[in-house]
Amino acid sequence: MGGAVSAEATVEGLASELGSYLDISRINQVRRAYYYAEQAHEGQMRKSGDRYITHPLAVARILANLRLDHQSLMAAMLHDVIEDTGIPKDALSEQFGEDVAELVDGVSKLTQIEFRSRAEAQAENFQKMTLAMARDIRVILVKLADRLHNMRTLGPMPYEKRQRIATETLDIYAPIANRLGMHAISTELEDLGFSSLHPMRARYISKAVDKLRGSHREIIEEIRGKLQQKLEERELPGKIQGREKHLNSIYNKMKFKHKSFHEIMDVYAFRIITETEDDCYRILGAVHSLYKPLPGRFKDYIAMPKANGYQSLHTTLFGMHVNIEIQIRTEEMENIANNGIAAHWMYKNESSGVIAVNQARVDRWVKGLMEIQERADDSMEFIEHVKVDLFPDEVYVFTPRGRIMELPSGATPVDFAYAIHTDIGNAAVACRINRNLASLSQPLQSGQTVEIITAPGAKPNPAWLSFVVTGKARSSIRHVLKTRKRAESLELGRTLLKRSLKGFGAQLSDISEAQKQLVVNHNQVNSFDDLVSDIGLGNRMAYLVARQLVSGGTDDAGEGQSNIGNIEDGKYGAVTIRGTEGLLVKFASCCKPIPGDPVVGIMDEGNGMVIHSDTCDRLPEDDAGRARLTHLKWAKDITDEFSVELRVELERQRGVIAEVANAVAMADGNIERISVEDQNARFGVVSLVVHVHGRRHLARVMRRVRNIRAVTHISRVRY
């Protein structure tokens, strides 16, 4: 009975705490949820030997400190009931209402699935968390409080489980708490995770911090005294607090910024809490008059808040032979910095513009996550996209109309374009930075004004994936490329299939739906379109599928005997290519074919068709390989440019390279690259990569270069 009495005392202790901001009827509902959970968990114990109910109660206490609403506290009491005691969601709904049942269900679902690997577990968990957050942000607040109490009581767990939970906390939960602006919970989760993963390092850093703090006490007090004196002198209200450095952040600075422990700890950090925004700027002036500010170290997060709603003035001063970091903020900003989105409930009854803006930011972030979630193929791809968004080191840039856009460090104009709107990103062709034309891959700097130039019909370039950093840009580009690849594989597959059917004297329109379905079933694919797409991707041979369609669905005989002669002499009719077919038609880098060259296509598994010159040494010699070749012909009206490599042997003379370049330009050629390969005192060999429209244009270019007196020989290079 003693256990029950002490538990009751703690729930009564919680109830008296809640009295400061909840009315009696709501406190009674929280109390009722506690007794329901106590009964449901009767007989269950934690690893530490405590009764299980102590955990839900502790989670509710954490949320009570954040002054969360009564429904969140009830969900905290009941959060393990569905999972651990077999009580269905309907029963909770009947007892405590639909909202509480939904919250409990949301929290339960975050930890329910069996996973094949830890990475997948984290990704899957995070994906579910996103869906839950989109429905009700309180789900994640309960989950964070649950994780925080579990981390505080991780000691009795087996080593393996401790490591897994700590890693997941550092990878996912701490960054989410940070992204929601909940600094106090985020730093505690980080420090607990770090201490659990690296107990020796944590102990060493902790001891070193205590030792250093003792020896620096006098300097700290002296700086604090001077700051206090300056504020009193100017009659400015302000509480001055020392700022603790957290173990995990010290460790990360040592590890990733390669700073020594003393370099990090020789900075003295203070926070000044004042009454109004106006006071913040006045105090900034006062501290700058006391000590010299370091150039480039001032940040105004009041005018430009961080993505998670954080606001403060940051400045670094040099005084008394040491660096002094100072943060200046109001009481409300301090609350938002520590409690982030949870501060929404603290100020719910007061009209606070800051809170509304903060809420809007979180809503926008969650909405962005939902967009990425819809485009991702699986949970691993999804988490790869959002991890960057959870660790932003922000840059702030402006739209031409003066709107501030916040992007992660290293973001490019393409990231900026997608941040404005997916359609603008997809149609981007160029950009202006501070009114000057700039590269789309150039990393942006804070304070720049960025303008995106779009063109109708433009498409994302696959090369963008190598430099974009935001999840939204990456997932949007991949989504468009996947859709485009699918459409192109269908078109190419259909062309190849029609040509193969022609060889059997049949047309695609003659094939009945029943015949198509038989072939689909035989090849074990979901649809006829999937089968055609596989042909376009090079995963299946058009000839074999055509024969199955003609013979009634299952003829697989003679797979190697694919009527090679017919393919080689083009009996089926050649496939026409323009050279601009997109992602699934590539030109071989070995022979660099151009319009006018006799060419063949060879299917490259999963990647479509590669076009070679028909005399290329890289083409297969065996019958099975020749069977994979497709006879091609060039369209008549090609206007695109193609790369050709030329080898020019010449006598060395002053200005001869310029003469060669001029000759190419006179023949309307475009030089991509020019380099001297080999030379002695009298002769040299120059390698030229030139863009031409076709064979005739190439002949014109070569004739111009050959006419230069110093040129002894010119030839086209094929590897």
Active-site positions?
83-84
Sign of the torsion formed by the C-alpha atoms of 621, 623, 629 and 632: positive
510: tokens are 């003659």
Please list, in sequence order, all residues whose beta carbon lies within 8 angstroms of the beta carbon of residue 416, skipping any fewer than 6 positions away.
397, 405, 407, 431, 444, 450, 452
380: tokens are 């691993």
Q: CA–CA distance from 123 to each of 134, 410, 474, 516 (Å)?
A: 17, 24, 17, 39
Rounded CA separation 649/634 (Å) = 31
Q: CA–CA distance from 712 to each of 382, 654, 684, 706 (Å)?
A: 59, 16, 10, 8
| Residue found by looking up tokens 């891959």 in the block | 441
Q: Are 397 and 444 in contact (CB under 8 A)?
A: yes
Rounded CA separation 492/601 (Å) = 12
Can you list the pairs that 253-257 forms with residues at least 24 positions away whose Cβ atoms lie under 8 Å? none
Secondary structure (3-state) at 717: coil
Sign of the torsion formed by the C-alpha atoms of 439, 441, 443 and 446: positive
| Residue found by looking up tokens 């949970």 in the block | 379
Rounded CA separation 260/263 (Å) = 5
Distance from the first to the final alpha carbon of the chain: 88
| Residue found by looking up tokens 């990647």 in the block | 607
Give DSSP secondary structure letters for 268-312. Answer: EEEEEEESSHHHHHHHHHHHHHHSEEPTT--EETTTS--TT----
Element spanning 649, H or E: strand 642-651
Rounded CA separation 397/74 (Å) = 43
266: tokens are 């020789």
| Residue found by looking up tokens 């024969």 in the block | 547
Rounded CA separation 187/123 (Å) = 22
Rounded CA separation 203/218 (Å) = 25
